[in-house]
Amino acid sequence: MSGRAMTVLLGCALLLGACASYDKLVEHDPSVGEQEVYAAGVDGDADEMVPHLIYVLRHRDEFDHAALVAALASLAEHPDGRTADAVASLARDDDEEVRWHVALALKAIGGELARTTLAAMAEHDSSELVRTEAAS
């Protein structure tokens, strides 16, 4: 097989994998994995993907921990103001890693709700790591 054919084959495989990621996220399939959520949030069309990322955030108990963190990480890289409420709602989550990712995402999203939530996290969070991130 030539190098060009191999490149085309690899590209098709990656595209099919990305489509499967989007489909699982759009269907709110709880088996969607961390990499699938992250890829959909980073590579997907924001107008199409944001409602599904918000679904993951609002229904955190349906998804595994890694998928929740991946949704927050993708929003930190590609912030969207429509997600501020859903992200801020996790500011008091029991999981320190989730709260740390909430701080990162809120800093990227910006806006009044983000600033208010970050200020509260910087002052009151039980984790020094989260307080430091929220304050920076």
For the chain, the structural domain boundaries read 3-135
Average pLDDT per 10 consecutive residues for the chain, totaling 136 residues: 42 38 68 70 69 87 86 88 94 95 96 98 97 97
Q: Is there a contact between 102 and 87 (Cβ–Cβ < 8 Å)?
A: yes
- Please report the pLDDT score of residue 106 as a whole number: 97
Q: List the structure tokens of 89.
A: 């709602």
Q: How far apart are CA 134 and CA 45, in angstroms?
A: 28
Name the pTM for this structure: 0.76
Which backbone phi and psi does 60 adopt, to 5 degrees?
-55, -30
Backbone φ/ψ region at 28: left (φ over 0), alpha (ψ -120 to 50), beta:
left
- Please report the pLDDT score of residue 24 as a whole number: 65
Q: Give the architecture (CATH level 2) of 3-135.
A: Alpha Horseshoe (1.25)
